[in-house]
């Protein structure tokens, strides 16, 4: 019965982790460029059950079947499916169609600078004409920081990411893609950083000026998953309560 408690506990742990991910997905359903997170589950390795010290079989160790200690957390993953494009009519909003990410020079609270990647193209321009993210980090072009002349009347970007000010070429977005997105690690709500082993490749994404990419979260699906998680959690709780009740009765009987 103690094994049953552990099996139910492993189920509770799994459902709690699933709930954390679903809650985070729902919280970011309106976050520009957010990509859904998911979780896989797997069984613990099956072990052999052996009968030992049993006088009825002359104390011979005897195989009595397979045992399994329930489910455990498998691997977390991120769904990179394209989100819907939403028109904003702002000349500094950009959405990517296809595979690729914007490059951002990110500075953390300690002042350390690194390159981050994002699908969030909600940019702005500062007083010096530099293109920035909404958090004030520099958007990178192929030639470094992207600076637009402050006296520009017409600012435009074509589908290839070429940037023009009054029909004069300025720079091109430094779009980046990767051979394997498993080598990208989430940072904050919708930024990503590389980990050791990553390999870059040419981005095939096209740029849509005046649009933003919505998150790829389906709120209805996430709510259904949350209901399923709650029911599974409740089932494991009932198992633990039942075993606890039986153990209490056994202790009471043994004391009589």
- Three-class secondary structure assignment of 25-69: HHHCCCCCCCCCEEEEEEECCCEEEEECCCHHHCCCCEEEEEECC
Beta-carbon neighbour count of residue 49 at 10 Å?
12
- pLDDT for residue 46: 67
User: H-helix or E-strand containing 24?
Assistant: helix 2-27
Examine the pLDDT at 48 and tell me if it is beyond 70.
no
Q: Which residue would you say has higher pLDDT here, 115 or 69? A: 115
Percent of the chain with pLDDT over 90: 63
- In 99-154, DSSP assigns E strands to 102-107, 113-118, 121-125, 131-133, 138-141, 144-145
Question: Averaging pLDDT over each range in 9-13, 129-133, 234-238, which range is the top one?
Answer: 129-133
Least confident among 12-16, 24-28, 87-91, 140-144: 12-16
Beta-carbon neighbour count of residue 228 at 10 Å?
13
Among 76, 42, 19, smallest CA distance to 232 is for 19
Beta-carbon neighbour count of residue 61 at 10 Å?
11
- pLDDT for residue 64: 66
Q: What is the value of pTM for the model shown?
A: 0.79
Percent of the chain with pLDDT over 70: 89
Radius of gyration of the chain (CA): 27
Question: How far apart (Å, rounded) are the C-alpha atoms in residues 46 and 73?
Answer: 16
- pLDDT for residue 166: 93
Least confident among 17-31, 161-175, 228-242: 228-242
Q: Which residue would you say has higher pLDDT here, 96 or 75? A: 96
Q: How confident is the model at residue 4 (pLDDT cuts 50, 70, 90)?
A: confident
Among 128, 157, 159, 165, smallest CA distance to 145 is for 128
- pLDDT for residue 42: 74
Find how far residue 179's CA is from the centre of its chain: 18
Examine the pLDDT at 54 and tell me if it is beyond 80.
no
What dihedral angle (degrees, nearest 10) is formed by the CA atoms of 137, 140, 144, 148? -80
Among 19, 5, 23, 14, smallest CA distance to 73 is for 14
Examine the pLDDT at 20 and tell me if it is beyond 80.
yes
Residues 125-158 pLDDT 10s: 999 999 999 999 999 999 999 999 988 999 999 9
Examine the pLDDT at 66 and tell me if it is beyond 80.
no
Q: Please give the structure tokens belonging to residue 155.
A: 């600012």
Residues 155-198 pLDDT 10s: 999 999 999 999 999 999 999 999 999 999 999 888 999 999 99
CB 78 within 8 A of CB 187: no
């Amino acid at each position: 019965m103690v094994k049953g408690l552990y099996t139910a506990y492993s189920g509770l742990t799994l459902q709690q982790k699933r709930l954390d991910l679903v809650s985070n997905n729902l919280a970011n359903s309106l976050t520009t460029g957010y990509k859904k997170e998911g979780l896989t589950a797997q069984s613990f390795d099956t072990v052999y059950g052996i009968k030992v010290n049993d006088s009825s079989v002359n104390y011979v160790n005897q195989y009595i079947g397979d045992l399994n200690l329930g489910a455990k957390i498998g691997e977390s993953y991120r769904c990179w499916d394209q989100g819907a494009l939403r028109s904003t009519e702002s000349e500094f909003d950009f959405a990517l169609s296809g595979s690729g990410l914007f490059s951002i020079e990110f500075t953390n609270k300690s002042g350390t600078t690194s390159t981050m990647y994002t699908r969030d193209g909600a940019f702005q321009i500062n007083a010096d004409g530099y293109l920035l993210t909404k958090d004030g980090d520099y958007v990178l072009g192929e030639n470094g920081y992207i600076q637009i002349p402050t006296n520009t009347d017409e600012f435009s970007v074509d589908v290839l990411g070429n940037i023009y000010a009054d029909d004069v070429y300025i720079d091109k977005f430094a779009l980046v893609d990767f051979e394997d997105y498993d080598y990208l690690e989430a940072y904050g709500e919708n930024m990503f950083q590389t980990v050791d082993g990553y390999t870059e490749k040419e981005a095939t994404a096209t740029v849509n000026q005046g649009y933003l990419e919505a998150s790829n979260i389906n709120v209805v699906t996430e709510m259904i998953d949350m209901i399923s998680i709650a029911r599974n959690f409740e089932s494991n709780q009932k198992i633990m309560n039942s075993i606890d009740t039986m153990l209490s009765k056994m202790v009471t009987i043994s004391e009589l």
